Structure 1
Amino acid sequence: MAAESFRACWIEKDGASLQMELKQVPFEELATGEEYVRVKVDYSGVNYKDGMAICGIYGVVETLPLITGIDFAGTVDETKAGFKKGDRVIMTGYEMGQKFHGGHAEYASVKAAWLVPLPEGLSPIDAMTIGTAGFTAALCIKALEDSGFDKSKPILVTGADGGVGSVAVYLLAQKGATEIVPALSTDSKALDEQRWGGAIDVVGGPTIPTICSQMAYGCTLATCGVAGGPAIKTTVYPFIIRGVKLYGVDSVFASTEDRKLAWSDLAKVPPEVWREMRKEVALDDLQEVATQILAGKIRGRVVVNLALKGPQLAKAEVEQEDVEALKQQCLSLRKSLTATSK
């Protein structure tokens, strides 16, 4: 007899807080309709947004109850909407794991239009080692190539040891960048020395004016993060005197064409690069992984292997006060973004 439920990371409201548990979820919970395709999840990533959701930070989750997970790689479970049963696919973005059920589960159901066929030469586990972070990095590189950057000058990558930054550093080197710099001095003038032939910033906030003031003529800063805050205070001088371009990168609603191009480019990277970046865990490890991610204890990428049973990750000492402080910071950021959008 066919199974009536599947295992998933489930969060729901419990009083004033969010509660996470691993539970059997009935298939009836998954979205249905002609445009939806059911996928057996093979691997999913654990991203910073996932860590926030699993640890009960309201700023990320917009619908409850919810299965977490903002990306996955899997196998199509039914012939439908242009896909055949057995097709390998990748899913990222479109607010999955925030507004509708995500990839931290044995099965998922998403719109067929959101799925990208797994490129030839790329394994599902490598796809999720890349994940949303690596996909975002590839879009940032494309932004620099489309808008202008000078590979003969140093290229700045903030947050170079994180998911987006580490992949960006590797891809830039493959593109011929001669010097990649992972640090930034925040002391600058409205127009400073022209240092950077291009830049990728994952922090946002006060780093952006500093980087812009130091960009070389006609070059581009691609920005994709808000950890440093949503507000920027700068002058127009870098833009009207040096022709500097500030390029916002969005991976959530990127076009299908851009998605296929980015994943095709990422598939050319030797598999050993991704193998060295990742740590494999099981669904049972999600709470521990999420806590460690928020506490800054994780380096590289964490991939959930849905075939693994039982905990795979040793517990780390994490100051709970740090996690609570981060929750408050995220809530403040959420309020700021909400107020700005009104």
Structure 2
Amino acid sequence: MPRVLMLKDEDPRARVETIDDDRLPERAVTVDIDYSDLNYKDALAVTGKGKIVREYPFVPGIDFAGTVRDSESDQYAPDDKVILTGWGVGERYWGGFAERMRVDADWLVPCPETLSTREAMLFGTAGLSAMLCVERLEEAGLARGTAVLVTGATGGVGSWAVQMLAHYGYEVHAVTGKPDQERWLRSLGAAEVHDRTEFEGEPRLLDKARWAGAIDTVGDTTLANVLAQMEPHGRVAAVGLAGGSALPASVMPFILRGVSLLGVESARVPLPRRRDVWQRIAELPRAMRDNMHHEAIGLEMIAERAEAMINGDIHGRLLIDPSLD
């Protein structure tokens, strides 16, 4: 019988429970979960500070990686290593904060042979999103060697984006509200580190042109300031809203400098593209995985660390090992 983190619309909201297998969803593939991870969306779901979960009881967790236990689909067989990110799992469908889960075969992707399930969750949705951002900028014609800004740089997406961009030869400028993490960001490849207060004031219609590209994980005023400071024909990949969902910007960067705002989402990327992106992630130097700051916790610690993430007290990645006490 698997242990799960169960959310209920009562106090306490989150508790670890042991349930019968017949309470798992009736779906095609049963996976023994090796690792999951804690993302900002998960933290909103667990704490109830975001309208992520609407039906209870509910098992959250938008990511997991593990081993197929049983399959009614010819796409997967027992002992296959698989990854799940997105598709509404952990939002509308029971997710990865569990020792075992049943999911649709189409939601899964094979784990690349050169990537362990632990390493897959070191990347998770954050790493997948970061690589999708890099690819969007590349597809839009951003030249390597140019200056690229990354906001929310100590978060999961941001810290992976810093490493990936640096690896591919861009000059990375990282934005953070955690000055004590400057040394770590530089170790990831940031050439410059900027305080986030530089991007929190009321945006100008246009500001001094500073960057050829950007990956924004914050949204709201920060994104508006970034857009105003892009070079002519600059490209901005928008992937997050940690600072809010509004965009108090003008059209001036678009019509006077030809700036492009590129939306990036990872939840419903088609399987062929998803497989290709995970393979590209697996081909990144192993040293990048070693450089990523991370903490490993069990199911019992998720609620506490979710509060810390909402409060901005987490940097890097948070792995969840359901085998830990």
TM-score, normalised to structure 1's length? 0.83
Offset at residue 219 of structure 1 (A): 2.2
1:245 Cα deviation after fit: 0.7
Moved more, 247-256 or 66-75: 247-256
Whole-angstrom distance in 2 between the partners of 1:18 and 1:235: 44
* Paired residue secondary structure (1:229): coil
Deviation of residue 18 (structure 1)? 6.3
The answer (yes or no) to whether the contact 2:62–2:91 under 8 Å persists in 1 is: yes
Trace 1:164-203 onto structure 2 (pairs within 5 A): 164-182=157-175, 183=194, 185-186=198-199, 189-203=204-218
Tell me which residue corresponds to 2:136.
Answer: 143
Residue in structure 2 matched with residue 67 of structure 1 by the alignment: 59
Cα contact 1:222–1:247 (8 A) shared by 2: yes
Q: Conserved in 2, the CA contact under 8 Å of 1:148 and 1:218? A: no
1:58 CA displacement: 4.9
Report matched runs for 1:105-144 at 5 Å.
105-144=98-137
**Deviation string, structure 1 residues 140-159 (Cα, Å, up to 9, x no partner):** 11111111323333210001
Match of 1:216 in 2: 231
Distance in 1 (alpha carbons) for counterparts of 2:241 and 2:116: 31
Q: Deviations over 1:101-130 (max 9, x none)?
A: 110101111111110100121111011011
Q: 2:309 aligns with which of 293, 315, 328?
A: 293
Distance 1:54 1:104 in 2: 10
> In angstroms, what is the RMSD of aligned CA positions?
1.7
Q: Do the aligned partners of 1:71 and 1:103 also contact (CA within 8 Å) in 2?
A: yes
1:12 and 1:44 mapped to 2: Cα distance? Answer: 20
TM-score scaled to structure 2, two decimals? 0.87
User: Structure 1 residues 201-210 or 156-165, which shifts more?
Assistant: 201-210
Q: Which whole-Å CA distance do the structure 2 matches of 1:304 and 1:181 have between them?
A: 27
Out of 88-97 and 43-52, give the one that drifted further. 43-52
Of the structure 1 ranges 190-199 and 64-73, higher mean CA displacement relative to structure 2 is found in 190-199
Q: Which residue of 2 aligns with 1:264?
A: 279
Whether 2:231 is the aligned partner of 1:238: answer no
The alignment status of 1:29 with 2:10, answered yes or no, reads no
Is there any run of 5+ residues in structure 2 with no aligned partner, and where? Answer: 176-193
Displacement of 1:179: 3.8
Give the whole-Å Cα distance in 2 for the aligned partners of 1:295 and 1:231. Answer: 20
What one-letter code is carried by the residue in structure 2 that aligns with 1:62? R
Per the alignment, residue 323 of structure 1 pairs with none
SS of aligned partner of 1:77: strand
CA contact (8 A) 2:162 2:172 kept: no
State the Cα deviation string for residues 305-328 of structure 1 (Å, max 9, x = none).
Answer: 1222x2xxxxxxxxxxxxxxxxxx
Equivalent of 1:103 in 96, 106, 109: 96
Which position in structure 1 is the counterpart of 2:2? 6
Describe the SS at the equivalent of 2:9.
strand
* 1:221-264 deviation digits (Å, cap 9, x = unpaired): 00111122222122222212222110111111222222112211
Task: Using the aligned pairs only, state the percent identity.
Answer: 37
State the alpha-carbon separation in 2 of the partners of residues 210 and 133 from structure 1: 23
Give structure 1 stretches of 5+ with no counterpart.
311-342
CA distance in 2, matches of 1:257, 1:109: 22
Q: Kindly provide the CA deviation profile for residues 73-117 of structure 1, in whole angstroms up to 9, marking residues without a partner as x.
A: 010112432101110000001121111111010111111111010
Equivalent pair of 1:149/1:218 in contact (CA under 8 Å): no
Matched position secondary structure for 1:98:
coil
Distance between the aligned counterparts of 1:126 and 1:95, measured in 2? 22
Asked if 1:251 is matched to 2:266, the reply is yes
The answer for the alignment partner of 1:274 in structure 2 is: 289
Of 38, 46, 49 in structure 2, the residue corresponding to residue 54 of structure 1 is: 46
Aligned to 1:325: none
1:331 corresponding residue in structure 2 = none
C-alpha distance in structure 2 between counterparts of 1:305 and 1:232, whole Å: 37
